[in-house]
């Protein structure tokens, strides 16, 4: 009989070891895409196994995930930008905690959590620059991409996400869709320098990328919202399950994400937070760090794979 813990371990191995193993084999892009799908399906299946898991924390701690030293090697000398709302900020906390340890993070938390502001830190030990850019609306993310385009200076890793503010304060799904498409166009405009996507599209022809470095792009997905737990009447009224799905559909239809042929790999906070459930949140929107830590592991594994497939 397969116990809950064994099942958890099995799923954890599939999610975390398979990518590490594959990374060594210099995957082609198609395989990488296939792999992303496989990862997604595994996680989706995981959700249906939820009742069998003692807790997501046991699930995570049981797996040999990437440790501080692996992450340090992977991020050594790189410039990482995380842009978006409080969900993105929680991704920054997870990343800093992995690299600097919880004591290190306690020291910087005051600055990082200054309401609605940017934050920047240089982790001297590994020469990693990390910027958090407060960009609560999709339109703010577009402004950011325009800034990079203008300065011709790009981070190595760009993680971004928005949607909750658009949902709460603009509350017009049509406009959300429009701003996502504008963002996609602007992200694509950043890419000729560097993307693995464009490297493939060139087909080895005349338009070979001149880039010396790859730009790795990730989308921090919206969390699952537990309407009854939301902490204001306005949120409860505007952020319903129906509105959430219409926003999610708009995202899927915007071709911003790899799943729909776009440039950004989605970190599925929605799925992971659903997996964790009401016991992992006190306001139905911000979840315990285990959710963001898991998303970070997925991000690092994807990065490991991408770093192993340099364009020709
Ligand atoms: C980072 O990379 C540099 C040179 O590539 C190396 O000398 C250094 O030891 C690395 N640091 C860590 C912490 O991996
Ligand atoms: C974000 O975008 C909104 C709407 O376009 C704008 O009012 C606001 O000033 C921007 N905020 C930041 C931090 O760029
Ligand atoms: C939503 O935005 C669209 C496009 O800007 C506009 O045409 C429409 O009237 C708006 N809907 C509402 C309910 O305000």
The predicted pLDDT at position 64 comes to 85
Residue 26 CA to residue 21 CA, distance in Å, equals 10
The predicted pLDDT at position 23 comes to 45
The predicted pLDDT at position 110 comes to 87
The predicted pLDDT at position 192 comes to 60
Supply the DSSP symbol for 257.
B
CA of 212 to the centre of ligand 1 (A): 19
What are 167-218's pLDDT values in tens digits?
999 999 999 999 999 999 999 998 865 444 444 444 443 333 434 457 899 9
Nearest residue to 90 via CA among 306, 273, 279: 273
The predicted pLDDT at position 65 comes to 78
Kindly give, in sequence order, each residue whose CB lies less than 8 Å from that of residue 80, ignoring residues fewer than 6 positions away.
Answer: 95, 128, 129, 130, 131, 155, 156, 157, 159
From the alpha carbon of 126, which atom of ligand 1 is closest? 13
Supply the DSSP symbol for 281.
B
Which phi-psi region, left, alpha or beta, contains residue 256 (left: φ > 0; alpha: ψ -120 to 50)?
A: alpha
Asked if residue 126 has its Cβ within 6 Å of ligand 1, the reply is yes
The predicted pLDDT at position 274 comes to 96
Tell which one of 139, 175, 181 to mutate to probe ligand 3, the residue whose CB is within 8 A of the most ligand atoms.
175
From the alpha carbon of 173, which atom of ligand 3 is closest? 1
The predicted pLDDT at position 243 comes to 97
The predicted pLDDT at position 33 comes to 47
CA of 126 to the centre of ligand 1 (A): 6
Nearest residue to 216 via CA among 82, 121, 23, 89: 82
The predicted pLDDT at position 7 comes to 45
CA of 232 to the centre of ligand 3 (A): 24
Instruction: Tell me if the pTM is above 0.85.
Output: no
Q: Which residues of the chain have pLDDT under 70?
A: 1-63, 192-213, 309-312
The predicted pLDDT at position 152 comes to 82
CA of 167 to the centre of ligand 3 (A): 13
Residue 279 CA to residue 55 CA, distance in Å, equals 10
The predicted pLDDT at position 160 comes to 98
Asked if residue 172 has its Cβ within 6 Å of ligand 3, the reply is yes
Asked if residue 72 has its Cβ within 6 Å of ligand 1, the reply is yes
């Amino acid at each position: 009989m397969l116990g809950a813990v064994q099942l958890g371990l099995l799923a954890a191995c599939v999610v975390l070891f398979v990518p590490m193993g594959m990374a060594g084999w210099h995957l082609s892009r198609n395989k990488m895409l296939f792999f992303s799908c496989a990862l997604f399906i595994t996680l989706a299946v995981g959700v249906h196994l939820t009742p069998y898991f003692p807790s997501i924390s046991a699930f995570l701690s049981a797996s040999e995930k990437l440790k501080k030293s692996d992450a340090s090697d992977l991020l050594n000398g790189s410039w990482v930008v995380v842009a978006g709302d409080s969900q993105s900020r929680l991704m920054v906390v997870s990343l800093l905690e992995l690299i600097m340890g919880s004591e290190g993070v306690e020291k910087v938390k005051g600055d990082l959590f200054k309401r609605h502001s940017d934050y920047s830190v240089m982790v001297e030990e590994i020469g990693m620059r990390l910027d958090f850019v407060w960009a609560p609306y999709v339109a703010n993310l577009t402004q950011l991409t325009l800034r990079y385009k203008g300065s011709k200076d790009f981070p190595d890793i760009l993680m971004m996400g928005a949607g909750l503010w658009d949902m709460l304060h603009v509350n017009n799904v049509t406009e959300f869709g429009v701003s996502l498409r504008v963002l996609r166009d602007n992200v694509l405009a950043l890419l000729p320098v560097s993307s693995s996507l464009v490297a493939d599209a060139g087909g080895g022809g005349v338009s070979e990328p001149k880039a010396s470095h790859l730009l790795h792009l990730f989308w921090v997905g919206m969390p699952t919202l537990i309407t009854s737990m939301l902490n204001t009447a306005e949120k409860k009224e505007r952020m319903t399950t129906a509105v959430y799905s219409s926003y999610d559909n708009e995202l899927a239809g915007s071709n911003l994400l790899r799943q729909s042929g776009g440039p950004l790999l989605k970190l599925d906070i929605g799925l992971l937070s659903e997996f964790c459930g009401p016991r992992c949140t006190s306001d139905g929107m911000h979840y315990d760090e285990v959710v963001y830590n898991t998303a970070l592991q997925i991000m690092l594994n994807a990065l490991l794979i991408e770093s192993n497939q340099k364009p020709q």
